[in-house]
A and B are shown apart, each in its own frame.
Chain A
Amino acid sequence: MSALDLPQPELNAPEPIAPDLVAEDLACRRGARVVFVGVSFRLPAGGALLLTGGNGSGKSSLLRLAAGLLAPAAGRLSWGERLVAADLAQHHARLHYVGHQDAVKPTMTPRETLTFWAALRGRRGAMAQAIENALAAFALDPVADWPCRWLSAGQRRRLALARLLVAPAALWLLDEPTSALDADGQERLERVIAAHRTNGGRVLLATHLPLAIDHAQTLVLDGFAPASDPALTLSALTL
């Protein structure tokens, strides 16, 4: 399937100029541990930012920060001029988040799963077609009516990713999206991401594996952890 067959996201209709996702000096703290400090980036429309770094360097935490699931310990995250925290509901409406877990119920079929997620995003009108397209984009149509407990780990992953296509969103946050995917699945993901960016979408993606994503910025999260005394940094943050 070509990139043109993908559902065309109606992005940013109320916002005339597509704003950037801007992070300035973000810091993240989990419990007593400071995961990173001083992380800044700018993600424009059509842009892609790859997060790399070792285990525990804070890739997932940064994605959760960007999703608004976590509040930054310091720094600001804004969408254009507006602070993300100021209107979380609106921020949630413009993003898709695919975490480590696939959120797939064993007794539901892939088609039902996607229907549910589309409904959750408030889609009803052109839903059936969007779901067919999403299933096809990840080659799930042969198994669309099987209960998900029959699916392999890779197929579940494909289903979690197909969710990206059932409702348009300006910002995709993907946490290790290629885990359990085979070469074909990875290729399909790359194609879907390319089409999303062509339509002005933004992608923030944490990955260990090299992915073919054109003109992507890379942010290496190693080295953002406070090097010296963590307690010192902690007190600096709480000030």
Chain B
Amino acid sequence: MTALYGIFRHDLGLALRQGGDTGLVLAFFVLAVVLFPFGVGPEAEILARIAAGILWVAALLAALLSLDRLYQPDYEDGGLELIALAPLPLELAVLAKSAAHWVATGLPLVLLSPLLALFVDLDPHAIPTLVASLLLGTPFLSLVGSIAAALTLGARRQGVLLSLLVLPLYVPPLVFGAGAVEASALGAAARPDLLILGALTLAALPLAPWASAAALRQALE
């Protein structure tokens, strides 16, 4: 437990101190969302119609942006070997690192999303659903992203490879996340989509650290 909390605090401390990761992710999220009104025109009806999709796609791309920082610095400075050699199971270390990654990058996205919802004229009644869907879905992005980050460790053009690997895996939360927000905007029940979104994250919670740890062991050989 001490070790688990130690990793979480260490990673979170690093992310907050460097500040770059969180800032970059948020700035990207804002810019990506703001680009859409320029692209599709300022008509409120059109924007409102596609708002759920815009917000979710932008959040997903923003989350993707910071994934290569999950293991790469530790891999480069030798810290990853020491974590692998620590007495705690590597799976738990991965879980702690993913949790810290989510708090540093996923949670700020969730908190910023209501503001951005106004930019794209999302129905105000759907904003609580938007926040709930991101709250349920962004942990999935960090967890599943950690698998791809581990698999691409040490690869040249890691960032590109990582996107190719991880974007197809992000389709299910995108479908149900955007689906929930849209249902809510149309006055329908968002509950089924949110439940499936939660189920996805719950399934990723034990599976992703396991897969990630296997990939990390491979990378350290």
Interface residues of A (CB under 8 A from B): 67-70, 89, 92-93, 95, 97, 99-105, 107-108, 112, 115-117, 119-124
B 1-21 binary contact with A (CB < 8 Å = 1; else 0): 011011100100110011000
**Docked complex Cα distance between A32 and B81 (Å):** 23
Q: List 26 A-B pairs, Cβ < 8 Å.
A: A68-B85, A69-B84, A69-B85, A70-B221, A89-B87, A89-B89, A92-B84, A92-B87, A93-B87, A95-B85, A97-B82, A101-B76, A102-B78, A103-B74, A103-B78, A103-B79, A105-B79, A107-B18, A108-B14, A112-B13, A119-B10, A120-B82, A120-B86, A121-B3, A122-B2, A122-B88
In the complex, chain B residues whose CB is within 8 Å of the CB of A93: 87
Closest to B86 in A: A120
- A69-B221, A108-B14 as given contacts; A122 in contact with B87, CB under 8 Å: yes
B221 to chain A, nearest CB (A): 6
Interface of A, helix, strand, loop or mixed by DSSP: loop
In the complex, chain B residues whose CB is within 8 Å of the CB of A121: 3, 86-87
In the complex, chain B residues whose CB is within 8 Å of the CB of A99: 78, 81
Decide if A123 touches B14 in the complex (CB within 8 Å): no
In the complex, chain A residues whose CB is within 8 Å of the CB of B2: 119, 122-124
A89, A92, A116 — which one has the most chain B CB atoms within 10 A of its CB? A116
In the complex, chain A residues whose CB is within 8 Å of the CB of B43: none
Closest to A93 in B: B87
- A69-B221, A107-B17, A123-B2 as given contacts; A117 in contact with B82, CB under 8 Å: yes
In the complex, chain B residues whose CB is within 8 Å of the CB of A120: 3, 6-7, 82-83, 86, 88
Closest to A92 in B: B85
In the complex, chain A residues whose CB is within 8 Å of the CB of B10: 108, 116, 119
- A108-B14, A120-B83 as given contacts; A101 in contact with B89, CB under 8 Å: no
In the complex, chain B residues whose CB is within 8 Å of the CB of A116: 6-7, 10
In the complex, chain A residues whose CB is within 8 Å of the CB of B18: 107
**Docked complex Cα distance between A216 and B118 (Å):** 71
In the complex, chain A residues whose CB is within 8 Å of the CB of B85: 67-69, 92, 95, 97
A108 to chain B, nearest CB (A): 7
In the complex, chain B residues whose CB is within 8 Å of the CB of A115: 6
**Docked complex Cα distance between A93 and B84 (Å):** 11
A93, A115, A120, A121 — which one has the most chain B CB atoms within 10 A of its CB? A120
Among B124-163, those with CB < 8 Å from A are: none
**Docked complex Cα distance between A70 and B84 (Å):** 12
- A116-B10, A120-B88, A122-B88 as given contacts; A104 in contact with B77, CB under 8 Å: yes
B17 to chain A, nearest CB (A): 5
In the complex, chain A residues whose CB is within 8 Å of the CB of B7: 116, 119-120
B 64-107 binary contact with A (CB < 8 Å = 1; else 0): 00000000011011110111111111000000000000000000
**Docked complex Cα distance between A216 and B88 (Å):** 32
**Docked complex Cα distance between A67 and B221 (Å):** 11
